[in-house]
């Protein structure tokens, strides 16, 4: 199938590369010429395990191309994914400016293509003259957008078409994509559920595929597009064959092939547009809530002398609750949870509906980022003049994403308190420098250089390298023997045996 993905960012590039791997002809479009040039040169603009190889293989197979020309890409494609960013505005609402621009440009391209098919003649009914040439398109909202955006995008596309039409020609859309009077387009919601660090596995081996539409022809086309994923009947990519299928708090030992054998069919959920849009927001909000709940309980555990690790293990074995996303620590970060929870709160306010649970989820997460500072003060008393080392910078492992990373909150607080801050991340040093050029910290190349002369080390990101650290060697170069584990993933026994003081979260 001919596919266009507009937005070669995290979601768009991963989606496009995976669809190309399955044999579709994919054009990834982006407004940034530098990004397109980078992709054409065989590079990717961010770190994601396996993505570079997947992109290179798909390009080599002739299934993936990159372009700045949205109009041409749309005209060549049957399915058009909108995968542009929707970052938060200052008031918490999502910034939909990129969606507006893209939707109108899609409409303009569709109208130009329709007029070309009609031999340059505009028609008063907005339909094609050449009945033998279908030019219907499916426009897929992959960007995370508020409830009601499907109808809104349809309006924007129609406005874009209207701008390209001769005077007196009206745009008509229909609920059907087949028949002699096929409409120009149909809008479908298809939310993404990708986790940074395991996005390719999540794309090719998803827990479910959600389609929001009332158009049976559009639904059938989307099912056809995703059929290889639904039936799991494609070959496991060679570079993923030994990659663990990650979850939030464990690395599942099952390979991709084993997952295929355990779950032969992926649920294909068809619903209305508003429900599909809300599924995405509700899913992320609930995951954020689980983490905030674990963090709130961790504070109570410290007061009562309990161990949050045992508490979450005990409640997580209840199948109604589940063990995933019950990790206590320094809170969640990244581009999704905060943005989506804020957007959901703002959507509810439009209906004069209060969301105290969602608001508490945010406040608990904000409070949790200050926990490490409190523990430092308890142990060192005075922070001014101390040297503090951060183990990790990205908001989670297996990515270089620094958006809303807890490390930045902690660094800025330490600098404000007069500390000298050092940091080492196996992947994210360069990204942190690039996005925070004024951050007055020292970047290190390995754990030992980080630990040298430090009064304390703070575990921020749960990279495997840190789990396997040589604590005996680290103890030899530190100024003071303090390790604060912000993710509860280090071996307390090994750290204490090395003569170091260990502090965790909630125990």
If we measure between CA atoms, which residue out of 206, 293, 487, 210 comes closest to residue 371?
487
- Tell me the C-alpha distance between 217 and 182, whole Å: 11
Q: Given the residues 256, 336, 432, 444, select the one marked as catalytic.
A: 336
Scan for tokens 């023997």, then name that residue. Answer: 481
d(CA 248, CA 27): 32
- The 3-state DSSP class for residue 26 equals strand
Sorted by sequence, the CB contacts under 8 Å of residue 409 that are 6+ apart come out as 369, 370
Distances in Å between the alpha carbon of 223 and those of 190, 212, 266, 297, 300? 11, 12, 11, 42, 48
Contact predicate 429/407, CB 8 Å: no
Give the position of tokens 């909150």. Answer: 409
Which of these, 487, 65, 14, 30, lies nearest to 295 by C-alpha position?
487
Among 229, 220, 216, 137, CA closest to 184 = 137
Contact assessment for residue 146 and residue 347, using Cβ atoms and an 8 Å cutoff: yes
Cα Rg, the chain, nearest whole Å = 25
Q: Is 4 considered catalytic here? A: no
Catalytic residue ranges: 336
């Amino acid at each position: 199938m001919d596919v266009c993905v507009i937005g070669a960012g995290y979601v768009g590039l991963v989606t496009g590369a995976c669809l190309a791997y399955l044999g579709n002809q994919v054009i990834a479009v982006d407004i940034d010429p530098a990004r397109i040039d980078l992709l054409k040169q065989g590079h990717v603009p961010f770190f994601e395990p396996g993505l570079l190889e997947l992109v290179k293989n798909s390009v080599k197979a002739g299934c993936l191309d990159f372009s700045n020309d949205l109009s041409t890409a749309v005209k060549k494609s049957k399915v058009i994914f909108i995968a542009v960013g929707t970052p938060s505005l200052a008031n918490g609402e999502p910034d939909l400016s990129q969606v507006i621009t893209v939707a109108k440009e899609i409409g303009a391209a569709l109208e130009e293509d329709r007029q070309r098919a009609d031999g340059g003649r505009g028609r008063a009914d907005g339909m094609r003259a050449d009945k033998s040439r279908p030019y219907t398109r499916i426009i897929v909202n992959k960007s995370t957008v508020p409830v009601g955006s499907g109808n809104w995008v349809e309006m924007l596309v129609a406005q874009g078409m209207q701008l390209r039409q001769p005077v007196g020609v009206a745009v008509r859309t229909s609920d059907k994509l087949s028949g002699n009077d096929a409409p120009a387009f149909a809008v479908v919601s298809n939310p993404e559920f990708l986790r940074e660090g395991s996005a390719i596995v999540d794309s090719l081996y998803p827990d479910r595929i959600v389609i929001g539409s009332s158009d049976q022809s559009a639904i059938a086309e989307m099912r056809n597009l995703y059929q290889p994923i639904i039936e799991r009947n494609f070959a496991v990519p060679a570079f993923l064959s030994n990659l663990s299928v990650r979850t939030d708090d464990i690395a599942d030992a099952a390979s991709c092939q084993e997952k295929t054998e355990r779950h032969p069919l992926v649920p294909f959920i068809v619903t209305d547009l508003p429900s599909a849009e809300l599924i995405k927001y509700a899913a992320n909000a609930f995951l954020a809530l689980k983490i905030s709940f674990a963090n709130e309980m961790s504070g109570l555990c410290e007061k009562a002398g309990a161990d949050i690790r045992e508490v979450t293990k005990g409640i997580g074995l209840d199948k109604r609750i589940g063990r995933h996303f019950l990790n206590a620590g320094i809170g969640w970060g990244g581009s999704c949870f905060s943005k989506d929870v804020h957007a959901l709160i703002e959507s509810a306010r439009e209906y004069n509906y209060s969301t105290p649970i969602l608001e508490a989820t945010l406040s608990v997460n904000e409070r949790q980022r200050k926990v490490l500072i409190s523990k430092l003060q308890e142990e060192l008393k005075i922070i001014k003049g101390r040297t503090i080392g951060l183990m990790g910078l990205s908001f989670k492992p297996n990515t270089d994403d620094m958006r809303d990373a807890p490390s930045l909150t902690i660094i800025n607080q330490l600098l404000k308190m007069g500390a000298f801050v050092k940091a080492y991340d196996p992947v994210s040093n360069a990204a942190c420098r690039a996005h925070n050029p004024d951050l007055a910290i020292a970047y290190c190349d390995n754990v030992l250089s980080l630990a040298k002369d430090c009064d304390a080390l703070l575990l921020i990101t749960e990279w495997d390298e840190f789990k396997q650290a040589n604590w005996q060697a680290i103890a030899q170069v530190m100024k003071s023997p303090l390790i604060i584990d912000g993710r509860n993933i280090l071996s307390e026994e090994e750290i204490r045996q090395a003569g170091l003081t260990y502090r965790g979260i909630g125990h």
